[in-house]
Amino acid sequence: MDDWIDYYDSTHTIYASKLHRDLHFEVIARDIIGYIASPDAVVLDYACGEALSAVKVAEACAKLYLAEPAPGVRGRLVARFAPNTKIRVRSLDDLRTMAENSVDLVVMNSVAQYMTSAELDSAFDVIHRLLRPTGRFVLGDILRPEVGMISDVLALLRFAATHGFLRDALIGLVSTALSDYRHLRNKVGLQRYGEDEMIAKLGAAGFSATRAPHNIGHNPWRMTFVAQH
């Protein structure tokens, strides 16, 4: 995962425009809010990225922990959300010292593809320890083995056409094809899991899981799972 952490901590071109970036985080925040069962809930966003719409999520719960591995991104999160007493920023290592059974909802979205299988198992162990017996773990944006890059491109173009940044998206796709992201994707690869495979993997970590009817975010060809103790 270290190569991907370094990439996202750099000045990357993964978003086609500011509008694309802002809408990306707005849609994710909306979907996360849909899983918050109570305004008293404690929520953890695992490897949250820039989390530009975290304030909206925080408004729907009692406490929001933003856990981020990239130090540069984490520094920006601290600066951005320091005035908000409901939001706290943590490193992934910090999660190992948080109190057991202290979180009602954990969300890990668009992260598993960047982790090795062993790294993901380790993350599941940490999350299982933090999650209350009545809590839920939402694992989103899982890439399927049978669905390739073309589907990702089509999902982006449909999202762009709907929200008015299609031209920027087309230019962005060309930029991405020539960028470090494409080279890194070819070099390191992305992890993919079938539905039954991921349910079994979650089961081995102590979770009972089912696939959600809709994926978090704009890509309908990827999968989201909802798990409990």
Q: So what's the pLDDT on residue 185?
A: 66
Q: So what's the pLDDT on residue 180?
A: 59
Mean pLDDT, to the nearest integer, of 93-108? Answer: 97
Q: Is the pLDDT of residue 86 over 90?
A: yes
| Strand segments (E) across 47-163 | 63-67, 87-90, 103-109, 131-142
Q: So what's the pLDDT on residue 191?
A: 95
Q: Is the pLDDT of residue 15 over 90?
A: no
Q: So what's the pLDDT on residue 178?
A: 53
Q: Is the pLDDT of residue 1 over 80?
A: no
Mean pLDDT, to the nearest integer, of 188-195? Answer: 90
Q: Is the pLDDT of residue 175 over 80?
A: no
Tell me how far apart the alpha carbons of residues 63 and 184 are, in angstroms, rounded to a whole number: 35
Q: So what's the pLDDT on residue 177?
A: 66
pLDDT digit string, tens, across residues 129-138: 999 999 999 9
Helix, coil or strand: residue 50: coil
Mean pLDDT, to the nearest integer, of 138-161? Answer: 91
User: Which residue has 């449909």 as its token pair?
Assistant: 158
Q: 0.85 exceeded by the pTM?
A: yes
